[in-house]
Amino acid sequence: MAFKLKQFTNCRILRDHKIQKEDLWIRNGKIINPEKIFFDEKTIADIQIDCKNAIIAPGFIELQMNGGFGYDFSYSEDTEKGVNTVAKGLLSHGVTSFCPTIVTSPQEIYHKVLRKIKKRCGNADGANVLGIHVEGPFINVEKKGAHPPQYIKNFIMGFETVMETYGTLDDVKIMTLAPELASSCDVIEKLVARDIVVSVGHSMADLRHGEAAVSCGASFITHLFNAMLPFHHRDPGLVGLLASNNIPPEKTVYFGIISDGTHTHLAALRIAYRTHPNGLVLVTDAISAMGLEEGKHRIGQFEVEIREGKAFVAGTNTLCGSIATMNECVKIFKNATGCSVEYALEAASLHPAKVLGMSDKKGTLNFEADADFILLNDDLDVLETWISGERVYFKPT
């Protein structure tokens, strides 16, 4: 089936930032140019699929999620089972690729967990794993959020401390750190040289620290507005990176933003969108309780409880992650900002692919890209999910 030529008809395709009436052709897991079919091969499709006027968009890419469906990635038990369960569960929410996120943990947890989570291609058993996002422990304890303070570290011996802490960076794709920490620039440069995206967050940094981190190679901001200094008109902090004149014009600083209706006020969503739309990336920051009922669950070393649709560190009023799914965040963001359908979908697909430097293969329906896509109705409900040209989920009717 994977090598058969498939033609999706009666559909509206998101391509080149606009939704257009056009057929989609795929073969061998890739999106192909139909002109070659017509003029060079002079053949017809092996399989025609009537999409009943559905929207076809690139599959969602999740850069920050701590777990879901009862599993937490930062807890050393059943790591492989947890990743597999979440990867499978994400398909019904339109996510075709994700970065499992490990929050601040004891060193022995990193040495166990980071060796168990591997990059892999997705299929009917679950979404692609593009690499691990390590969020901590090199953060500022004053902006720890739900991170246990006893495990937060400084770069005591620079990059040597990083390697000692994690044990391996083989499958790490993103690292969140506080740029105000001593030796952070040297660490950032060494991480970027290893093709690891450096994100600034959980930080007390002022704008100057943020700009210095970007000059050293940082290119992402972890959950904008959350776990950082609030915007101030004399020093806007990391938020100021969205409008800084000290960022080279050829470089885009991207930022994750949680549009679950809880972590970020709807007005703040609008401010971020109107200030720097090219850099906006939707993330869920989902925890193990995503997809579960209210009650007590885990995130890393903490017990959490779900009350009234929100996740808190147990016994406190500290928010510790979202329980919203990506397709819910897309809908909330679109309704809050009034942006186009095209933009809302690309903020969860094309933009995160650009963060990872993978926008030639992921987050797009351009020719030769991976055939990872979703079918949606006009309410943006996920009807079907496809990975490498094979259907891996369909909504029961």
* Rounded CA separation 224/203 (Å): 11
Helices then strands, counting H and E runs in the chain, come out as 10, 22
Q: Strand locations in 5-85, DSSP E? A: 6-15, 18-21, 24-27, 30-31, 47-58, 60-65, 67-68, 71-72
Q: Which CATH superfamily is domain 6-57+364-394 in?
A: Urease, subunit C, domain 1 (2.30.40.10)
pLDDT(91) > 90? yes
Q: How confident is the model at residue 283 (pLDDT cuts 50, 70, 90)?
A: very high
Is beta strand 67-68 parallel, antiparallel or unpaired with respect to 254-258? unpaired
Give the tens place of pLDDT for each residue, 57-73: 999 999 999 999 889 99
Residue labelled with tokens 């994100």:
199
pLDDT of the residue at 1: 46
Q: How confident is the model at residue 301 (pLDDT cuts 50, 70, 90)?
A: low
Catalytic choice (171, 260, 285, 370): 285
What is residue 96's predicted lDDT score, i.e. its pLDDT?
98
312 has which bridge partners? 305, 319
Q: Which two tokens stand for residue 282?
A: 């939707």
6-57+364-394 shares its CATH topology with 60-355: no
* pLDDT of the residue at 231: 92
Instruction: Tell which CATH classification among 3.40.1280.10, 3.20.20.140, 3.90.1150.10, 3.10.580.10 matches the domain 60-355.
Output: 3.20.20.140
Please name the amino acid found at residue 125: D
Beta-strand pair 197-200/172-177:
parallel
Amino acid identity of residue 228, one-letter, is M
Look up tokens 């942006």; give the residue: 339
Q: 143-177 pLDDT, tens per residue?
A: 998 899 999 999 999 999 999 999 999 999 999 99
Q: Where are the domains of the chain?
A: 6-57+364-394, 60-355
Q: What is the pLDDT of residue 44?
A: 86
Q: Percent of the chain scored above 90 by pLDDT? A: 82
Q: What is the pLDDT of residue 313?
A: 81
* Summary mean pLDDT of the chain: 94
Predicted structure pTM score? 0.95
Which residues are CB-neighbours of 47 under 8 A, at least 6 positions away?
4, 5, 6, 7
As a whole number of angstroms, the distance between CA 233 and CA 230 comes to: 10
Q: Which residues pair with 386 in a beta bridge?
A: 373, 391
Cα-Cα-Cα-Cα dihedral sign, residues 43, 46, 52, 54: negative
Q: Name which of 129, 130, 123 is nearest 388 in CA terms.
A: 123
Cα–Cα distance, 22 to 26 (Å, whole number): 13
CB proximity list for 150: less than 8 A, separation 6 or greater: none
Q: Is 235 in the active site? A: no
% of the chain beyond a pLDDT of 70: 98
Residue 182 CA to residue 187 CA, distance in Å, equals 10
